Structure 1
Amino acid sequence: MKKKKIVVIGFIGTQLDGGKGSARWEKWRPSIALTQHDDLVVERFDLLHSGHFEPLVAQVEKDIASVSPETTVVAHHLPIVDPWDFEDVYGSLFDFAKNYTFDTDNEEYWVHITTGTHVVQICLFLMTEAHYFPGKLLQSSPPRRQTIGAAGSYALIDLDLSKYDQIAQRFSSEQQEGVAFLKSGIATRNARFNTMIDEIERVAIKSRAPILLMGPTGAGKSFLARRVFELKKARHQLDGKFVEINCATLHGDGAGSTLFGHIKGAFTGAASDRPGLLRTAHKGLLFLDEIGELGLDEQAMLLKAIEEKRFLPVGSDHEVLSDFQLIAGTNRDLSEEVVKGRFREDLYARINLWTYELPGLRDRSEDVEPNIDYLLAQFSAENAQMVRFNKEARERFMRFATSPDALWIGNFRDLSAAVTRMATLADAGRITDVIVTDEVRRLQRLWQHHAKTSVPDSTVELSDVLSRESLEQMDLFDALQLQAVIAVCRSSRSLSDAGRKLYAASRSSKVKPNDADRLKKYLAKFELDWERVLA
């Protein structure tokens, strides 16, 4: 394996690295000393500084050149006003790291924390631990006995954040910013969704294992996968591209060629080599949407590529390498597909380590409003025109959008289309009651074939869920009502969905309707719960 070049990143020591005349060589100067070790060759020294220390920087650069001609010194001036202010220092270092071109394939980065204020050292520690600087911490020390020209010693530090809990807590906001980034700054209110995004942020930063996103079409799987990629890219955890493909579009022999590539002459029409999407995603992130649509042969090849980072292109006898992170999306129940023999059990086990189910818009009615605000702001920015609802129009649309009549079959795609249409038709940037009325009618026409106008026709045997003793003590009225409720539950996607159908009329009179809780309490009267009802 090719040995990587050593690159040191560190602040100039305004006191430790200073000195005048030949006497400066009689003292230990940390930055210069790092380049004096016989067992260490520093390819490049990125020397950070703030304030007005250009003469000192020039002197240090000249001295390093005299003792280590092979070391290139690159000076970087950071706009730090107060080197003892956490926000000032951290912000400047964050911007520096964000714009720095890291080449982790060829260079190994050592972050020198001997020089600079304590605040600088703490910030460098935290940013290295968080992978904004993809390297190791470097601590240097003076010689035990003062000797002219002695280099002292140096050590690479094993990061252990548990020793610095109080400091780490000061920067817990970084994790919160990561969560906000995944949500595009949308102030979502659904507790289940927020908890899920919080965990995805932590998993995305700490793990390269596959992630499986489940949920209905339009729930935001593709959008979230791209945000995960951008988050990891900002942390220098990925160097490659974001590559996306909907597996439902792959058919026949072309599926293998699209994913794994082919060599020239592999089949009729293969006039040249094709790398395939897996190789295009090398060192990046591959998002396979609707992975349940893949054929069994492609599933077997994908499993090998995930586990071994190598595979055979179509028609080739030589394996190729590709190291990518996988995020898979599906609107199917893959465990059920495994039972039916349509999805490989070993592949499902491999991608099922981190599985998250994205709820549809109907299950996140409290998030309709913040998403409308986000979509309006996005439309306004793209069209350079501020667009807002009239008060009455906003209230009317919100009543409809959060009611049982709003089916949101396409989930957020339907909502995005609705907002785009209303914003486009808004004169002088105002969405009126007339525009909302027309849009509601348009959505109702769109969903008319999906609307459920009556209680599902389903025969429910109460003996399947209740004991004989309970049935004998139950009035006919209660039995008939419970049968109807269970029929609705079994035709619904979730407890919340069933609750909205059952309490469609009375919920409008409540300030904070909680249909799921009302239904849960009703079932509890018969010692039943959601899982038991569906059994």
Structure 2
Amino acid sequence: MAKKTIVIGFLGTQLDSGQGAGRWEKWRPTISLVQHEDTLIHRLELLYTPRHQALAELLKKDIAASSPDTEVRLVPLDIADPWDFGEMYAALYDWVRTYDFKPEREQYWAHITTGTHVAQICIFLLVESRFIPGVLLQTAPPKKQTQNNPGSYTLIDLDLSRYDVLAQRFHQEQRDALDFLKSGIATRNRRFNALIEEIERVAVRSRAPILLTGPTGAGKSHLARRMYELKKSRHQVSGEFVEVNCATLHGDGAASTLFGHKKGAFTGAATDRAGLLRTAHEGVLFLDEIGELGLDEQAMLLKAVEEKRFFPMGSDREVTSDFQLIAGTNRDLRVDVAGGRFRDDLYARINLWAYTLPGLAQRPEDLEPNVDHLLARAAAETGRAVRFNAEAKAMYLKFAQSAEATWNGNFRDLSASVTRLATLADGGRISTALVEAELQRLRWLWQRGAKSGPAGEGVDLDALLGESSHAELDLFDRLQLESVVRICRESRSLSDAGRKLFDQSRTQRTVVNDADRLRKYLQKFGLNWEAICTAQER
């Protein structure tokens, strides 16, 4: 049994109007609905405002004359201003929510030719959201107006799944977005591709914080910037991409850099400073190595992320900034939370979307496309095409994908390696001899890095202290000193090493000077920062 056709539409206060017999020579959109000989409108839900009651009654009478089988229901809506979007949508929404739709027996056409533009938009939204379970109906006048000429009508189904061409475009857009996030590299690792697919959906649908974890050089910073550029291409952000490595922030400078300060907030604060959070307003703030932030800065950041407002240093007035946070770290923040080095409430806030980027050694099948990409990039930058000989490429990839290749620096190591090969390639060809030399360089690089393992391993105290001084140390002092020296060599500065070594006791001090404490400890053995670093270089 065919479904009954129900039309929902507004009375056209101008287009549907008319008096006397002459009105039948005029094209009236609502009347035209029932004048098509091959289409029966079983019921018309005619929406109107009470001040147009007389016109509504006239239309009902004219429709009865044209199509006696069409039932007309007059639906008055108490709308003071039909151009007020909020008032119009609320009135339509309330009526639709109480309407007895029977989609199993009736089909619904929402007429959008009459009514104010605001009314038409509201009806469109109600159909698109399926509150009205039907299609849009658009009518048009005839090219030559004559009596009882209904013109034409078009039905528009907003169910995009029915439009194969549109579906293909949306799928292509998603593929383009994935390709963009991967910098055009045809990666083959299934787990990595699935990870990027989810990140793409989150990047374009969410403004919640995102946490990127993974080893150094895995591409966290690069991916964060690509996510920002993807959002900007969709007009989802209008502000800047602001990136800061939290490991470079120390003391008062950390809070000042992030949150800004007022003039005179501390020694050296000669002028006001806005801070990076405000610079990132309506954009994206990428905090790399977020685990290096101090607990005070973590508390301030939590407030800024949750409430979009915070106090600059030295100010008693809050400022606002609406930014999206992307955080990066190569540490396991769960361990830092358990050890009291990272706030559990901040971790919970930034952990809604957490993704671990795998290291290069975990994606051996992606080495070849990444090598090809890096060579293409080098050619674009230098204007000089470079290619591997077949034997040379096979040799390089065999080593690169073997267990011997640890890729400690991940893509930084690979990029540096390909850059060296491209630079040294005579005639634009990378030979086996060049590859052999590069593989020796990589082996040397990773063997040297492997020495810094367990506490004290690779630390030659004889060279630092002299054999006699070393022999005079108790085992306890020797093991402790070896560990301290190792931490110093892994750190960027004396202050950085001090923060790591005094990570607990520093939180209980009113005045914190990690560098001075470590300097005094080393002096007991006749050592200093320069001597430790110089010995390492030798």
The bucket for the TM-score relative to the shorter chain is: 0.5 to 0.7
Unaligned runs of 5+ in 1: 1-25, 30-138, 145-149, 453-535
Structure 2 Cα separation of the partners of residues 341 and 151 of structure 1: 58
Identity among equivalent pairs (%):
64
1:180 to 1:28, Cα distance in 2 relative to 1, 3 A: farther
Match of 1:142 in 2: 113
What SS class does the counterpart of residue 243 from structure 2 fall into? strand
Secondary structure of the 1:440 match is helix
Letter in 2 for 1:141: I
Alignment-derived partner of residue 159 in structure 2: 163
The residue type paired with residue 308 of structure 2 is K
Who is 2:406 aligned against? 407
Deviation readout 1:1-48 (Å, 9 max, x if unpaired): xxxxxxxxxxxxxxxxxxxxxxxxx8899xxxxxxxxxxxxxxxxxxx
Q: What TM-score does the superposition give when structure 2 sets the normalisation length?
A: 0.56
Question: Is 1:217 paired with 2:216?
Answer: yes
AA of the residue aligned to 1:378: R
3-state SS of 1:421 partner = helix
Offset of 1:152 from its aligned partner?
A: 10
1:365-402 alpha-carbon deviations (Å, 9 max, x no partner): 11110000000000000111111111111111111111
Structure 2 counterpart of 1:174: 173
- In structure 1, C-alpha distance between the alignment counterparts of 2:119 and 2:353, rounded to whole Å: 44
Cα separation, 2, equivalents of 1:236 and 1:336? 38
Hey, what does 1:387 align to over in structure 2? 386
- Provide the residue aligned with 2:428 in structure 1: 429
CA spacing shift, 1:315–1:190, aligned 2, 3 Å = same
C-alpha contact 2:262 2:269 (8 A) present in aligned 1: yes
Which secondary structure state, in structure 2, belongs to the residue aligned with residue 449 of structure 1?
A: helix
Instruction: Measure, in 2, the Cα distance between the counterparts of 1:448 and 1:253.
Output: 39
Q: Structure 1: which amino acid aligns with 2:337? A: V
Distance 2:260 2:117 in 1: 53
**Counterpart secondary structure, 2:327:** strand
TM-score, normalised with respect to structure 1: 0.57
Deviation for aligned residue 1:451: 4.5
Q: Determine the C-alpha separation between the residues in 2 that align with 1:166 and 1:254.
A: 57
Secondary structure, aligned partner of 1:327:
strand
Instruction: Look up the match of 2:337.
Output: 338
Give the drift of 1:434. 1.3
- Which residue in the other structure is 1:355 paired with? 354
- Say whether the 8 Å CA contact 2:244–2:286 is kept in structure 1: yes
Distance 2:304 2:111 in 1: 43
Q: Distance in 2 between matches of 1:353 and 1:209?
A: 8
Q: For residue 244 of structure 1, give the secondary structure of its aligned residue in structure 2.
A: strand
- 2: distance between equivalents of 1:164 and 1:424? 51
CA 435–160 in structure 1, closer or farther in 2 if over 3 Å, else same: farther
Shift of 1:442: 0.8
Letter in 1 for 2:288: D
- Name 1:476's counterpart in structure 2: none
Number of aligned residue pairs: 325
Gaps of 5+ in 2: 1-25, 30-109, 131-157, 452-538
Residues 505-524 of structure 1: pairs in structure 2 closer than 5 A: none
Post-superposition Cα deviations, 1:452-499, rounded to whole Å, max 9, x if no partner, equal 9xxxxxxxxxxxxxxxxxxxxxxxxxxxxxxxxxxxxxxxxxxxxxxx
Q: How far did 1:154 drift?
A: 2.6
Q: CA deviation at 1:271?
A: 1.1
- Cα pair 1:210 1:328 within 8 Å, conserved: yes
Shift of 1:330: 0.6
Q: Which amino acid aligns with 1:164?
A: L
State the partner residue of 1:308: 307
SS at match of 2:370: helix
Matched position secondary structure for 2:354: strand
Matches within 5 A, 1:195-214: 195-214=194-213
Contact conserved, 2:114 with 2:120, CA < 8 A, in 1?
A: no
CA contact (8 A) 1:389 1:431 kept: yes
Give the number of the structure whose alpha-carbon radius of gyration is greater.
2
Q: In the alignment, what sits opposite 1:279?
A: 278
Structure 1 Cα separation of the partners of residues 211 and 190 of structure 2: 20
Q: 1:268 to 1:163 in 2, by over 3 A?
A: same
Residue 152 and residue 275 in structure 1: after superposition, are their counterparts in 2 closer, same or farther (change >3 A)? closer
Residue number in structure 2 paired with 1:329: 328
Residues 28 and 154 of structure 1: is their aligned pair in 2 closer, same or farther, counting only changes over 3 Å? farther
Q: Please give the alpha-carbon distance, in whole angstroms, between the structure 1 residues aligned to 2:253 and 2:246.
A: 11
- Counting only pairs closer than 5 Å after superposition, residues 30-109 of structure 1 correspond to structure 2 as none
Question: Which letter maps to 1:299?
Answer: Q
After TM superposition, give the deviation of residue 450 of structure 1 in Å: 3.9
Residues 244-298 of structure 1 show CA distances to partners (whole Å, capped at 9, x for unaligned) of 0010111111000000001111111111111111000000000000000000000
**Counterpart position of 1:97:** none
The CA RMSD measured in Å over matched residues stands at: 3.3
CA distance in 2, matches of 1:243, 1:151: 41
User: Is contact 2:232–2:238 with CA below 8 Å preserved after alignment?
Assistant: yes
In structure 2, what is the Cα distance between the partners aligned to 1:213 and 1:265?
36
How far has the Cα of 1:165 moved from its partner? 2.1
Aligned to 1:372: 371
Change (3 A) 1:227 1:140: farther
Partner of 1:241: 240
Kept in 2, the 8 Å contact 1:209–1:325? The answer is yes
Distance in 1, Cα, partners of 2:433 & 2:331: 39
Seen in structure 2, the aligned counterparts of structure 1 residues 152 and 169 have a Cα distance that, compared at 3 Å, is closer
